[in-house]
Amino acid sequence: MVKTTIKEIKGLKKVCGETKCLSLHDRYNRRLQINYDCSTGEVWGDLHYGVNPSWTEYRDANIITVCTTCEPMTMAQIEEEISCAV
């Protein structure tokens, strides 16, 4: 397993900020799908709306979906999710 650190993960602060608008009681049912590119070390989020499950699928083997959240997350929590997923 490759150990990643916060300094190595590009976009971590940005995606952490994107989770701050999320809430379990959101009337728009917003969810953020957090993705990680193992080849570049970049993380980003795809925002999805609605009650029907939806997601973004990438056809690159280096890109993994780390998690989908409907609650705010800290940088440390996102880093931990990435470490578990890699």
Q: Give me the number of domains the chain comprises.
A: 1
In a domain, 47, yes or no: yes
In a domain, 37, yes or no: yes
In a domain, 11, yes or no: yes
In a domain, 1, yes or no: no
Find the range with the poorest average confidence among 2-11, 35-44, 45-54: 2-11
Q: Which residue stretches of 1-86 are H helix?
A: 12-19, 75-85
What Rg do the C-alpha atoms of the chain give, in angstroms? Answer: 13
Buried b (16+ CB within 10 A) or exposed e, 33-53: bbbbbbeebebbbbebeeeee
In a domain, 59, yes or no: yes
What range does the domain containing 53 cover?
Answer: 6-85
Q: Express each pLDDT in 13-32 by its tens digit.
A: 999 999 998 988 877 889 99
In a domain, 38, yes or no: yes
Listed residue (84, 71, 68, 79) closest to 41, CA to CA: 79
In a domain, 71, yes or no: yes
Q: Band the pLDDT of 2: cuts 50, 70, 90.
A: low
The whole-number average pLDDT for the span 44-66 is: 93
* Position with higher pLDDT, 1 vs 27: 27
| Both structure tokens of 14 | 């940005």
Whole-structure pTM value:
0.88
